């Protein structure tokens, strides 16, 4: 059997279990459709429902749907409008078509007419803001117990999913290298962004999220995505957080660079070493929260070694200083979505881990299991808003902080496939190594 054949069998089994557990006879997964801007007729870029592309690698066919009833072949309603205004997305012949009943429709109403009375016992998953979908007489719309069951189990990736994630990382690392070269050539943020897209022949709407392309102090803005059109007089540092997609699966990579030798170059190397040191701790059974705390202690050691904060790593962490320099979570699940869901689910019944007061932005609290894929992305930044809480501290070397401020900060991010006994795969570093 092929990896996709195994994948769709796993998806069916997971939907079988979810439907049985939640009392639904069938499910209709709607691909979604574009929304127009307020008081306008221009649509925003279309993003497919992740649970639709869970079934098949079709990401540019809005108004399509998958209908699944346990024990029967999935039915794919592929929408192809009779429309002389717009080009239709080309759907090449691929293996997934061998595993479904494919019905091409040119009117969304034909989906409901084909299903008839089955709609009354069907759970609908997807956006339903537009007619006729909003009026379909389904049993339930986006029932949370069904979503929780599905989201909990899709944290364990199939071989086919990992293959797609691997290739998405190979695309993204190629683009990252092009962006790095543009930085060293003196490009502006916008020019670097264009170099990134050109390297993999992507439109801006095809990357999985707004790329962070930050020069100098912009590296301290965690989700910076403004892009200056002119290069700064002096480009001291470059932080890029950007990804790619392949068959609907996402890569999410961050790297930090500098043109200068000395303090900031050494800091990049230290954060990178702290991240790689943490990677050795990843194995099934470990709590991801435990990894997060361990990374904070390693960042605390960096803060001590570089003279930012006085004290031992434990003292720096216990006093809360690391949260000012490293405020975000260590990472998140990744797959069909950049921030893949289910990171707080305790089980498939929807019970959740409470958000931690000390680390409220951590997106993943589950124990680590073989087959999970998640990011590891420590950082160290000068965020003045957060340092205000420690303005009177004598432990912080404010002169050293001021020295870092013009560089913004450092972040390093890789995606990890959890293997047995710590035999993990680093999708990101392997992809960079493959480029040479």
- β-partners of residue 122 are 26
As given in the structure block, the two tokens for residue 175 are: 């683009």
Question: Was 305 annotated as part of a binding site?
Answer: no
Give CA–CA dist 255/257, Å, rounded: 7
Question: Was 229 annotated as part of a binding site?
Answer: no
Instruction: Identify whether the C-beta of residue 209 lies closer than 8 Å to the C-beta of residue 241.
Output: no
Instruction: Identify whether the C-beta of residue 414 lies closer than 8 Å to the C-beta of residue 375.
Output: yes
CA 273 to chain centroid: 23
As given in the structure block, the two tokens for residue 186 are: 């003196």
Question: Was 117 annotated as part of a binding site?
Answer: no
Q: Which stretch of DSSP H or E encloses residue 287?
A: none
Question: Was 413 annotated as part of a binding site?
Answer: yes
**Cα dihedral value 82, 88, 93, 98, nearest 10:** -60
Q: Which of 10, 416, 49, 4 minimizes the C-alpha distance to 248?
A: 49
Q: Give the CA distances from residue 405 to residues 133, 143, 241, 308, 430, in Å, rounded to whole numbers and listed in that order.
A: 51, 47, 19, 12, 32
Contacts of 415 (CB under 8 A, 6+ apart): 165, 169, 251, 252, 253, 334, 373, 374, 375, 426, 427, 428
Question: Was 315 annotated as part of a binding site?
Answer: no
Contacts of 51 (CB under 8 A, 6+ apart): 29, 125, 126, 150, 336
Name the binding residues.
241, 252, 332, 377, 413
Name the binding residues for Mn(2+).
241, 252, 332, 377, 413
């Amino acid at each position: 059997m092929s990896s996709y054949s195994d994948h769709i069998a796993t998806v069916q089994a997971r939907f079988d279990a979810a439907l049985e557990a939640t009392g639904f006879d069938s499910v209709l997964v709607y691909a979604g459709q574009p929304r127009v801007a307020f008081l306008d007729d221009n649509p925003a870029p279309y993003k497919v429902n992740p649970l639709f592309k869970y079934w098949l690698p079709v990401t540019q066919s809005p108004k399509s749907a998958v209908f699944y009833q346990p024990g029967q072949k999935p039915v794919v309603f592929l929408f192809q409008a009779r429309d002389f205004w717009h080009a239709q997305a080309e759907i090449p012949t691929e293996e997934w078509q061998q595993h479904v009943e494919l019905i091409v429709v040119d009117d969304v109403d034909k989906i409901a007419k084909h299903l008839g009375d089955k709609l009354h016992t069907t759970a609908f998953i997807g956006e339903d803001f537009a007619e006729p979908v909003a009026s379909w007489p389904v049993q339930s719309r986006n029932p949370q117990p069904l979503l929780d069951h599905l989201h909990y189990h899709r944290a364990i990736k199939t071989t086919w999913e990992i293959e797609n994630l691997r290739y998405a990382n190979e695309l993204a690392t190629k683009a990252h290298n092009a962006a790095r070269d543009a930085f060293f050539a003196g490009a502006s943020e916008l020019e670097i962004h264009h170099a990134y897209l050109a390297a993999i022949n992507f439109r801006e709407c095809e990357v999985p999220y707004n790329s962070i392309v930050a020069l100098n102090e912009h590296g301290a803005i965690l989700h910076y995505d403004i892009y200056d059109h002119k290069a700064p007089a002096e480009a001291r540092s470059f932080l890029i957080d950007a990804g790619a997609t392949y068959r609907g699966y996402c890569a999410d990579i961050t790297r930090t660079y500098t043109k200068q030798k000395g303090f900031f170059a050494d800091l990049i190397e230290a954060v990178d070493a702290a991240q790689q040191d943490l990677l050795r701790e990843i194995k099934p059974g470990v709590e991801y929260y435990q990894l997060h705390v361990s990374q904070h202690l390693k960042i605390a050691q960096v803060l001590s070694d570089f003279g930012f904060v006085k004290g031992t790593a434990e003292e720096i962490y216990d006093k809360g200083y690391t949260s000012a320099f490293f405020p975000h979570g260590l990472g998140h699940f990744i797959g069909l979505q950049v921030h893949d869901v289910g990171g707080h689910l305790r089980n498939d019944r929807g019970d959740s881990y409470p958000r931690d007061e000390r680390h409220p932005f951590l997106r993943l609290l589950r124990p680590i299991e073989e087959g999970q894929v998640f990011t590891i992305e420590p950082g160290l930044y000068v965020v003045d808003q957060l340092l205000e809480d420690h303005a009177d501290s004598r432990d912080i070397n404010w002169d050293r902080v001021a020295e870092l401020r013009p560089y913004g900060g450092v972040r390093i991010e890789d995606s990890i496939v959890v293997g047995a006994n710590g035999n993990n795969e680093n999708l990101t570093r392997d992809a960079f190594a493959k480029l040479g």
